Amino acid sequence: MKKSIILTEQRNSATRVYDSELRSEIASLTEFLGDFTKEEYISSGIRDVEVIFSTWGMEHYTSEEIKRYFPRLEAVYYGAGSVQQFAREFLECGIRVHSSWAANAVPVAEYTVAQIILANKGFFGSSYRYKKEGHGRAWDHFQSFKGNYNAKIGIIGAGMIGKMVIERLKDYKLDVLVFDPFLSEEYIREHGVHMASLDEIFETCDVISNHLANNDDTAGMLCGKYFDKMLPNAVFINTGRGRQVVESDLVRALKDCPDRVAILDVTWPEPVPKGHEFYDMDNVILTPHIAGSMGLEVVRMGKYMIDEFKRYEAGEKCLYSVSLEMLKTMA
Q: Examine the domain organization and report whether 241 and 264 are in the same domain.
A: yes
Q: Examine the domain organization and report whether 67 and 34 are in the same domain.
A: yes
Q: Examine the domain organization and report whether 156 and 278 are in the same domain.
A: yes
Q: Examine the domain organization and report whether 302 and 266 are in the same domain.
A: no
Q: 295: how many CB neighbours lie within 10 A of its CB?
A: 8
Cβ neighbours of residue 119 closer than 8 Å, sequence gap 6 or more = 206, 207, 235, 237, 261, 263
User: Which of 31, 34, 2 has its CA nearest to residue 18?
Assistant: 34
Mean pLDDT by 10-residue block, N- to C-terminus, for the chain (331 residues)? 97 96 98 98 97 97 98 97 94 98 91 98 96 95 94 95 96 96 91 96 98 90 98 97 97 98 97 97 97 92 98 97 88 70
Q: Examine the domain organization and report whether 316 and 202 are in the same domain.
A: no
pLDDT given for residue 216 in this prediction: 87
Q: Examine the domain organization and report whether 37 and 145 are in the same domain.
A: no
Q: Examine the domain organization and report whether 189 and 312 are in the same domain.
A: no
Q: Examine the domain organization and report whether 132 and 277 are in the same domain.
A: yes
Q: Examine the domain organization and report whether 74 and 140 are in the same domain.
A: no
Q: Examine the domain organization and report whether 122 and 190 are in the same domain.
A: yes
Q: Examine the domain organization and report whether 91 and 133 are in the same domain.
A: no
Cβ-count burial 253-262 (b if 16+ within 10 Å, e if not): bbeeeebbbb
Number of domains the chain is built from:
2
CB 109 within 8 A of CB 81: no
**Domain of residue 194, CATH code:** 3.40.50.720
Q: Domain residues for 32?
A: 3-103+295-328
Cβ neighbours of residue 94 closer than 8 Å, sequence gap 6 or more = none
Q: Examine the domain organization and report whether 304 and 280 are in the same domain.
A: no
pLDDT given for residue 85 in this prediction: 92
